[in-house]
């Protein structure tokens, strides 16, 4: 194969995905044809770029393409990490039930650290202020009923560091996107 031909061979899917991840660290271009602009930068077709994004959405590499509001800026000043001690056999159903609530952004099962830390279910609860968050947490407690042995809410009082995640695919700095 001549060099000229080699240069026109489209990169394989994974390589294109990695380059798109790198190019969209700061987001999707705010231009009429954003996927075309990315395609021009990478010397591929817009169709290939759109196909790559559909593929990444299907594989879960891209959770979604969307706008992410800054909840703090929008007045949601109370953000509490609620933590729950639920019997192991019931924790998954509890997680699913909490997941159906509209004021919880993330819900995770995590290991306990006994005896210091008995909680195995974490749910981030958002409200306009601390009182609103306490109200939501009380609703969760009511819903879970006797399955809850102990619970607590930890409010963040200071951001000590927020530099975002290092993109594992590109080893470059990526802005945090509130996924944790």
Partner 1 sequence: MTAAMQELSALDRAIINRLQDGIPVCEAPYAELAAELGTDETTLLQRLQALKAAGYLSRIGPMYNVERMGGAFTLAALRVPEARFDEVAAIVNAFPEVAHNYRRDHAFNMWFVIAVADAADIARVLSRIKAATGLEVYNFPKQEEFYLRLKFDV
Residue 58 as a binder of partner 1 (CB under 8 A): the answer is no
Instruction: Mark 69-88 with x for binding to partner 1 (rule: CB under 8 A) and - for no binding.
Output: xxx-xxxx----x-------
Q: Helix crossing, 91-99 with 130-144: angle to 10°? A: 130
Tell me how far, at minimum, the Cβ of 7 lies from partner 1, in Å.
27
Q: Residue 76: CB partners within 8 Å, gap ≥ 6?
A: 126, 127, 128
3-class SS of residue 109: strand
Tell me how far, at minimum, the Cβ of 16 lies from partner 1, in Å.
14
* Residue selected from 9, 12, 26, 114 as contacting partner 1 according to rule CB under 8 A: 26
Residue 150 as a binder of partner 1 (CB under 8 A): the answer is no
Q: What is the DSSP letter of 165?
A: P
C-alpha to C-alpha distance for 37 and 43, rounded to whole angstroms: 10
Comparison of 75 and 145: residue with beta carbon closer to partner 1: 75
Residue 96 as a binder of partner 1 (CB under 8 A): the answer is yes
Residue 132 as a binder of partner 1 (CB under 8 A): the answer is no
* Residue selected from 15, 43, 63, 87 as contacting partner 1 according to rule CB under 8 A: 63
Residue 57 as a binder of partner 1 (CB under 8 A): the answer is yes
C-alpha to C-alpha distance for 15 and 41, rounded to whole angstroms: 14
Q: Say if residue 152 is exposed, middle or buried (CB neighbours under 10 Å; 0-12, 13-18, 19+).
A: middle
Residue 109 as a binder of partner 1 (CB under 8 A): the answer is yes
């Amino acid at each position: 194969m001549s060099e000229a031909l080699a240069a026109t061979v489209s990169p394989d899917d994974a390589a294109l995905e990695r380059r798109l991840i790198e190019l969209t660290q700061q987001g999707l271009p705010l231009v009429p044809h954003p996927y075309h602009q990315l395609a021009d930068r990478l010397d591929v077709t817009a169709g290939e770029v759109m196909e790559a994004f559909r593929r990444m959405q299907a594989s879960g590499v891209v959770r979604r393409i969307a706008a992410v509001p800054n909840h703090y800026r929008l007045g949601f000043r109370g953000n509490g990490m609620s933590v729950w001690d639920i019997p192991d056999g019931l924790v998954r159903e509890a997680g699913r039930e909490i997941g159906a609530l509209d004021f919880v952004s993330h819900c995770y099962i995590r290991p306990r650290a006994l005896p210091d830390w008995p909680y195995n279910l974490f749910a981030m609860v958002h409200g306009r202020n601390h009182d609103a968050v306490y109200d939501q947490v009380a609703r969760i407690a009511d819903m879970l009923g006797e399955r809850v042995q102990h619970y607590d809410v930890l409010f963040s009082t200071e951001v000590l560091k927020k530099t975002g995640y290092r993109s594992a695919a590109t080893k470059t700095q990526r802005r945090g996107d509130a996924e944790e």
